[in-house]
Amino acid sequence: MPPVALGIDVGGTKILGALVDDEGTVLQQQVVPTPKEDEPLLHAIVGVARGLLDGAAPDLPVGLGFPGLITRDGVARYGPNISLREFPLRARLEAELGRAVLVDNDATAATWAEFVIGAGREARADMLMFTLGTGVGGGLVIGGRIVRGSQGFAGELGHLIIDVDGASGPSGIPGELEAYSAGNAIGRMANHAFLQGHFIGTLLEGPVAPTGEQVTWGALQGVEPAIEILARAGRYLGIAAAGLVNCLDPELIVVGGGAGAAGDLVLEPARASLADHVLGPTHRDPVPVVAAGLGPEAGAIGAAFLAAEEGRG
Q: Residue 258 has what pLDDT?
A: 74
SS3 17: strand
Identify which has the larger pLDDT, 63 or 202: 63
Q: What is the 3-state secondary structure (H, E, C) of 159-213?
A: HCECCCCCCECCCCCECECHHHHCHHHHHHHHHHHHHCCCCCCCCCCCCCCCCHH
Give me the mean pLDDT over the 140-163 stretch: 96
Q: Residue 192 has what pLDDT?
A: 80
Q: Residue 210 has what pLDDT?
A: 72
What's this model's pTM, rounded to 2 decimal places? Answer: 0.93
Give me the mean pLDDT over the 288-310 stretch: 95
Nearest-angstrom CA–CA distance, 163 and 175: 4
Give the burial string for 209-236 (b: 16+ CB within 10 Å, else e). bbbbebbbbbbeeebebbbbbbbbbbbb
Q: Residue 18 has what pLDDT?
A: 98
Q: Is the pLDDT of residue 199 over 80?
A: no
Ramachandran assignment for 20, one of left (phi > 0), alpha (psi -120 to 50 degrees), beta (any other): beta
As beta bridge partners, residue 128 has 140, 253
Query: Contact, 237 vs 273, CB < 8 A?
Result: yes
What average pLDDT does the chain have?
92
Q: Is the pLDDT of residue 201 over 60?
A: no
Q: Residue 257 has what pLDDT?
A: 86
pLDDT tens digits, one per residue of 49-90? 999 999 889 999 999 999 999 999 999 999 888 888 999 999
pLDDT tens digits, one per residue of 250-292? 999 999 987 667 899 999 999 999 999 999 999 999 999 999 9
Q: Residue 202 has what pLDDT?
A: 64
DSSP for 44-98, written as a single string = HHHHHHHHHHTTS-TT--EEEEESSEE-TT--EEE-TTS---SB-HHHHHHHHHS
Q: Residue 35 has what pLDDT?
A: 94
Q: Is the pLDDT of residue 298 over 70?
A: yes
H/E segment holding residue 108: helix 106-117
Q: Residue 313 has what pLDDT?
A: 58
pLDDT tens digits, one per residue of 1-20? 899 999 999 988 899 999 99
With CA atoms as reference, report the closest residue to 182 among 69, 259, 67: 259
Give the Cβ contact number of residue 268 at 10 Å: 15
Q: Residue 203 has what pLDDT?
A: 58
Of 120-124, 201-205, 228-232, least confident by mean pLDDT is 201-205
Of 181-185, 210-214, 282-286, least confident by mean pLDDT is 210-214
- Give the helix, strand, coil percentages of the chain, each rounded to 5: 40, 20, 40
Q: Residue 260 has what pLDDT?
A: 67
Ramachandran assignment for 109, one of left (phi > 0), alpha (psi -120 to 50 degrees), beta (any other): alpha
Nearest-angstrom CA–CA distance, 60 and 65: 17
pLDDT tens digits, one per residue of 32-54? 999 999 999 999 999 999 999 99
